[in-house]
Structure 1
Amino acid sequence: MDLNADLGESWYHQRIGNDEALMPLLDSCNVACGFHGGDALTMQKTIDLALRHGVNIGAHPSYPDRKNFGRRVILMPLEALEALLLYQISALRGMLEVAGGTLHHVKLHGALYHFAGGDAAAAKVVVRVVKSLGIPILYGLPGSALAAEAHAAGLDFWPEGFADRRYDNSLHLRPRDKDDALLEDPAAAAEQVRLLARSQLVRAHNGDFYPLSVKTICLHGDHPGAVARARAVREVLGPRKK
């Protein structure tokens, strides 16, 4: 089971998360491309850190929305969405190739992640951009429009679960403004990952268990306590493969 986290989300003097402590615990990282978080120097430093630790690097594009950290849907024409994605992913890929690496995957951020997961037209745009750039893997929600479009296009899709977010009984992530939306206790995060990894089940907010098959598990690097949760999850998954 792949463990990933969203990193490189600091920008200029705004510090987000603890990438240095998280990176050695991960199999993959999703590097912000400068629109919700990140800047050119932060992207470069995050790439160097990931290469040093042998962690797979993915692009983490978003809506252009630092104010809301990319967690608000911005409706736009599909051609604008396509250009937005092409710009962000190409920038990270170019910087990574100069550093001697290869882009492993793409994972959308925040509101764009969920919007493309439910909108077939947006999902088609995402898949078209990823394929046109020759990137082999797309991370996203299992059973989503993005998954369907990726499979139809022959793109390798890795269904993603979450260690630090509670699920509703619909198997959507519980909205952040609701109670019990975040799993802050490392033991609770580890237990959710244990169920996902070993039983392909998740316990929803209502207490019932639901089947959920995933190939990669995300920790949010911007959440307080992320490092402690990552260590607890790493113990469940075992030593990372190098």
Structure 2
Amino acid sequence: MDFNADLGESWYQHRVGSDTGLMPFLDSCNIACGFHGGDALTMRRTIELALFHGVNVGAHPSYPDREHFGRRKMDIPPEQLEALLLYQVAALQGMTAAAGGELRHIKLHGALYHHAAFGADAMAAQSVVRVARALGKLTIYGPQGSHLEREALHAKVPFLAEGFVDRRYEAYNRLMPRKEKTALLQSAGECADQARDLINGTVQLASGQSATVAVQTICVHGDHRGCEERARAVREVLDRTAA
């Protein structure tokens, strides 16, 4: 099971999360590309930190929406969206190569993640897949049963179904909206329990029922307070499972 986090989301004097604290617990990281968070120096430093710890580097592109941290849906024509994605991912790929590494995957951020996964049509997902193919068949991370999964499989682009250890689920592939008071799992223990469930192929829903899932990567958010403690607890679960 791959363990990932969204990192490099600070920009200039605005600090977000704890990349140095989280990185040692991870297998993969998704680095912001300067649109919702990140800047050129932060991108470079986060890439170097990942390579130092032997963590796989992925791109974390978003809508051009720093004001709302990429969590607001934006109506962008497909051709323009594809160009914005290519711009972000190619920039991070070039910076990773310059540091002596290799970009491995793409994981969308925030509102763009959910739109490409479950929007009214698959055009955004198709744009993501075309960018992944153009840049060397990068692996795409996304929800199980989504447009992203179907389009990636159709195009023979690698795909990893993703689960979240620090977000509550409404359905097996749908997160509870952040506006709900119980949308975030607050304690390290809760996150460890959810990680254990996801590894075992289930997830507990907000309704109290459970659903069957099949994920290959699990995520902890790097911008949530207490993320280091959650990541440490999840790493312990993963290490015990692998032993």
Name the structure 1 match of 2:32. 32
Name the structure 2 match of 1:120. 122
Name the structure 2 match of 1:12. 12
* Aligned: 1:220 with 2:206: no
Contact 1:106 1:135 in 2 (8 A): no
Name the structure 1 match of 2:142. 140
* Aligned: 1:131 with 2:133: yes
Shift in Å, 1:239: 7.5
Q: Runs of 4 or more off by more than 4 Å in structure 1?
A: none
1:52-91 correspondence to structure 2 within 5 Å: 52-91=52-91
Shift in Å, 1:170: 5.8
Contact 2:59 2:103 in 1 (8 A): yes
Q: How many Å separate the matches in 1 of 2:22 and 2:137?
A: 25
Q: How many Å separate the matches in 1 of 2:198 and 2:186?
A: 17
Q: TM-score, normalised by structure 1?
A: 0.97
Q: CA-to-partner distance for each residue in 1:66-99, whole Å, 9 max, x for gaps?
A: 1110000111111100110000001000001011
Give the stretch that moved more between structures: 18-27 or 165-174.
165-174
Q: How many Å separate the matches in 1 of 2:193 and 2:95?
A: 37
Give RMSD over aligned pairs.
Answer: 1.3
Q: CA-to-partner distance for each residue in 1:93-149, whole Å, 9 max, x for gaps?
A: 000101110001000000000000023111111101110111431100100011000
Give the stretch that moved more between structures: 166-175 or 210-219.
166-175
Q: How many Å separate the matches in 2 of 1:135 and 1:54?
A: 21
Structure 2 stretches lacking a partner, 5+ long: none
Q: How many Å separate the matches in 2 of 1:170 and 1:4?
A: 19
Q: How many Å separate the matches in 1 of 2:82 and 2:240?
A: 38
Contact 2:201 2:214 in 1 (8 A): yes
* Aligned: 1:192 with 2:191: no
Name the structure 2 match of 1:177. 179
Name the structure 2 match of 1:210. 211
Give 3-state SS (helix, strand or coil) of 2:103's partner: coil
Name the structure 1 match of 2:51. 51
Q: How many Å separate the matches in 2 of 1:239 and 1:15?
A: 33
Q: How many Å separate the matches in 2 of 1:144 and 1:46?
A: 29
The amino acid across from 1:92 in the alignment is: L
The amino acid across from 2:165 in the alignment is: A
Q: Cα–Cα, structure 1 residues 10 and 120, in superposed 2: closer, same or farther, change >3 Å? A: same
Q: How many Å separate the matches in 2 of 1:190 and 1:138?
A: 25
How many residue pairs match? The answer is 240
Give 3-state SS (helix, strand or coil) of 1:50's partner: helix
The amino acid across from 1:100 in the alignment is: G
Structure 1 stretches lacking a partner, 5+ long: none
Q: TM-score, normalised by structure 2?
A: 0.96
Q: How many Å separate the matches in 2 of 1:159 and 1:64?
A: 25
The amino acid across from 2:76 in the alignment is: M
Taking only the aligned residue pairs, the percentage that are identical comes to 58
Q: Cα–Cα, structure 1 residues 173 and 216, in superposed 2: closer, same or farther, change >3 Å? A: same
Q: How many Å separate the matches in 2 of 1:124 and 1:19?
A: 31
Contact 1:12 1:39 in 2 (8 A): yes
